Structure 1
Amino acid sequence: MSITKDDIKHIAALARIGLKKDEIVKYQKELSAVLDYFKMLEKLPTDKIEPIGHITGVDNIFADDRIKSSNEERKHKLILKNIPQMKNNQVKVRSVL
């Protein structure tokens, strides 16, 4: 498939890109080559190829969301138990400044 210079100018205008004359010629050749490649790919026989959603074959494995009592939780409770003064569930300390 051949792309014209007017096609390139139109695409550049839609993308709001300014192109020089040599760039127009360059992109005309490059885009024509890309479209020719796609044209070639369209001709490949794909009748016997099964469509797939993803190619890795790996499924997500999820862990159960359960709260576990941990050593950290016990440490936290022990620390809170030994705090001399608390106010509104916060540690109360003397003024620093």
Structure 2
Amino acid sequence: MSRITKDEVKYVANLARLAITEDEAEIFQKQLDAIITFAEQLNELDTDLIQPTTHVLHMRNIMREDKPGKGLPIEDVLKNAPDSKDGQVRVPAILE
């Protein structure tokens, strides 16, 4: 007995904005049914002693300490700005 119907396959394809033929719907129905069957087998496993994980490998970020440092001189920064005034970069207004 199939766990997913051809109409459900067509419905999901429509949600994904995919145009599929009758033959493709039948193929996808068999493939999705196999996937669902496999997923249901996983539900039978006893996972009570398994700790939840977000990743199978132990991962951590290695980041340097954030230390303030001396910035560029304002004259050098403003050299690259297309427009500046009073030591600040000017940009076009976006609000009316």
TM-score scaled by structure 2?
0.61
Is the counterpart of residue 57 in structure 1 residue 58 in structure 2? yes
Is the counterpart of residue 13 in structure 1 residue 6 in structure 2? no
TM-score scaled by structure 1?
0.61
TM-superposed CA distance for 1:89, in Å, is 4.1
How many residues are matched? 75
**Cα deviation code 1:33-56 (max 9, x no counterpart):** 011110001111101111123332
Bigger helix share? 1
| Higher alpha-carbon deviation: 42-51 or 12-21 | 12-21
Structure 1: segments with no counterpart, 5+ residues? 70-87, 91-97
Counterpart secondary structure, 1:13: helix
Query: Which is bigger in relative contact order (C-alpha 8 A, separation at least 6)?
Result: 1
1:94 is aligned to: none
1:79 is aligned to: none
TM-superposed CA distance for 1:63, in Å, is 1.8
| Higher alpha-carbon deviation: 19-28 or 48-57 | 48-57
Query: Quick one: structure 1 residues 26 and 89, their matched pair in 2 at CA, closer, same or farther if it must change by over 3 Å?
Result: closer
After TM superposition, list the pairs within 5 Å mapping 1:25-64 onto structure 2.
Answer: 25-64=26-65
Structure 2: segments with no counterpart, 5+ residues? 77-96
**CA RMSD after TM alignment:** 2.9
C-alpha distance in 2 between matches for 1:6 and 1:89: 67
From the CA coordinates, give the structure whose radius of gyration is larger.
Answer: 1
The aligned amino acid for 2:36 is L
The aligned amino acid for 2:62 is I
